[in-house]
Structure 1
Amino acid sequence: MTRYVAIGDSFTEGLGDTQPDGTERGWADLVAAGIAAGEGEAIQYANLAIRGRLLEPIVTEQLDAALSLSPQPTLLSLNGGGNDMLRPGGDLARLVELTERAVRRCNEAGVRVLLLSGADPSGHLPLGSRMRPKGAALTEAVRGFADQYDVVFVDMFNDKEIQRRHYWSADRLHLNSAGHRRVASMVLDALGYPTEAHVIDPGPSASRSLLAEARYYREHVLPWIQRRLAGRSSGDDRTGKYLDWVSISSPAVPERS
């Protein structure tokens, strides 16, 4: 039986794919359901990702918890570093080292690894042009050792389709439901479950008015700045949404085992 655990930040938690009951679904949940459908049987799934997390706690605290699950996972997905790159400065070599160390730990434990580079939001963000080179460099560095460790690597950062405005939430930092569906389709295909890449055709993009821009800065940018100044994170006092194995039978909703 496949036992799939996901670790990471808001990208893996599923922010932006908000369901009618207010919960966040996301690409990892969709991948779990897709694997179950592909296998034709229920799988076990856990999601330890927490919004706002930097890479170090992802590859220490979350990875420790993931490898401690019983029974042990057979597949682990890892994405992180986006929150590190949103902060001034940052040590790219350190991010690469942390990622590679996490991959080695999984290999030593006999757990198959799926690495993802996050989708590139820089075209929509204030000062995004400063962020993009960091994301591109991290993506290429991870690609450089992915083959060495025989991991599955899915490069969403260089996917031009998902960079279109229509795949992003109102905060311009997190994917919306269509964006998460596209990531899930590409991940499933890379894992060996043939899936056509999800594409939407929303028509031409409308220009953003000054009023809309002012609202965006008031509702999304200023709160983010205030959290940074206060030393707080959107993920403070939060835990992952599935801390232990849940049973997934496609297309059923997760049920706690």
Structure 2
Amino acid sequence: MSSILSNDHSIRYVAIGDSFTEGVGDPDPERPNGVRGWADRVAEQFMLADSEALYANLAIRGRLLGQIIDEQLQAAIDLKPNLVSFYGGGNDILRPNTDIDQLMSQMEEGFKALRAADIEVFTFTGMDVRDFNAFKATRPKTAIYNELLREIADEHGVKIVDFWRMRDFVDQRYFAPDRLHLNTRGHIKMAGRVLDLLSDESISMAGPQTLPIALPKTRMQRLRDEARWTREFVVPWVGRRLRGTSSGDGLSPKYPELTRFEGQQEKASEQ
């Protein structure tokens, strides 16, 4: 992977996926779809280091893995990138009766198509939700997903950002109020982990300061938090499932063509 960042060719980076890659949880009203996210932040660092680096982000929130492949995979290849981030399956895992083997077969086909086009690829394992009560039931499915992902990624030369093993992300203060998506601090931290994976000393990103000690909440505060979370996030999510709709309905990719953020690049230290 480091050859992408150290050879004579400028980076042409395309991100595909769902809300995680779109940047949900990291609000920015000045950007398309109103979010920024780790992928934008990684691309900004590329652009600071390389005056000709380009970036596209095709990810849309709510997309299942099959939709990502159908809608985004060939579109990404057509942009002729030399680097693609490809993560999906999280929305599939949240649904009952997930066929993990079928999911990973789809993922492998995506890896094959990207690697056949001579594109360097990196992906992510799913996070360990052991300490997240709302999603703990999905932990066994995520563990199987991750094990199969490591196998096929190794076979096809795909690098992995191993979110499952990042125990520091257990702290809820890296997450948005929906408890599902990273917040701004979390996206900054994840961008740093991606740049660590790419292993190029000329491109780095300082992480945010250490979190302050968390003050314990009273029982009443916890009950109020649970009621607010249920009202604002769980009920709407269930409603969308019943209606067969998605949070991404009507949205377009943030950056459908390779572009630059001239004059918009910000270093992590400015956060």
Superposed CA RMSD in Å reads 1.9
1:45 aligns with one of 22, 38, 55: 55
Q: Which amino acid aligns with 2:17?
A: G
Q: Distance in 2 between matches of 1:244 and 1:154?
A: 25
Partner SS state of residue 189, structure 2: helix
**2:66 aligned partner:** 56
- Which sections of structure 1, spanning at least 5 residues, go unmatched? none
8 A contact 1:34–1:250 mirrored in 2: no
Deviation at 1:251, TM superposition (A): 6.1
**1:156 aligned partner:** 163
Deviation at 1:167, TM superposition (A): 0.3
Is 1:25 the counterpart of 2:36? The answer is yes
Is 1:186 the counterpart of 2:199? The answer is no
Deviations 1:123-148 (A, max 9, x none): 3352x221111112111211122222
8 A contact 2:42–2:191 mirrored in 1: yes
Is 1:9 the counterpart of 2:18? The answer is yes
Q: Distance in 2 between matches of 1:83 and 1:241?
A: 19
Q: Distance in 1 between matches of 2:128 and 2:206?
A: 17
Partner SS state of residue 148, structure 1: helix
Partner SS state of residue 98, structure 2: coil
Q: Distance in 2 between matches of 1:115 and 1:238?
A: 23
Deviation at 1:83, TM superposition (A): 0.2
Partner SS state of residue 42, structure 1: coil
2:105 aligns with one of 82, 97, 106: 97
Q: Distance in 2 between matches of 1:110 and 1:228?
A: 38
Is 1:218 the counterpart of 2:225? The answer is no
Deviation at 1:77, TM superposition (A): 0.4
Q: Distance in 2 between matches of 1:106 and 1:58?
A: 13
Range with bigger deviation, 237-246 or 112-121: 112-121
Is 1:86 the counterpart of 2:94? The answer is yes
Q: Which amino acid aligns with 1:241?
A: K
Q: Distance in 2 between matches of 1:76 and 1:243?
A: 14
8 A contact 2:64–2:91 mirrored in 1: yes
Is 1:202 the counterpart of 2:209? The answer is no
How many positions carry a matched residue from both structures?
249
**1:76 aligned partner:** 84
Q: Which amino acid aligns with 2:61?
A: R
Change (3 A) 1:146 1:20: same
Deviation at 1:190, TM superposition (A): 0.6
Q: Distance in 2 between matches of 1:130 and 1:148?
A: 29
8 A contact 1:120–1:157 mirrored in 2: yes
Q: Distance in 2 between matches of 1:31 and 1:121?
A: 25
8 A contact 1:79–1:118 mirrored in 2: no
Q: Distance in 1 between matches of 2:18 and 2:115?
A: 22
Deviations 1:78-128 (A, max 9, x none): 0100000111111000111111111110111111111112434563352x2
2:116 aligns with one of 70, 88, 108: 108
Q: Which amino acid aligns with 2:15?
A: A
Change (3 A) 1:230 1:185: same
Q: Distance in 2 between matches of 1:41 and 1:123?
A: 42
Change (3 A) 1:96 1:205: farther
Q: Which amino acid aligns with 2:38?
A: W
Which TM-score applies when normalising by structure 1? 0.90
Deviation at 1:193, TM superposition (A): 2.8
Deviation at 1:198, TM superposition (A): 2.8
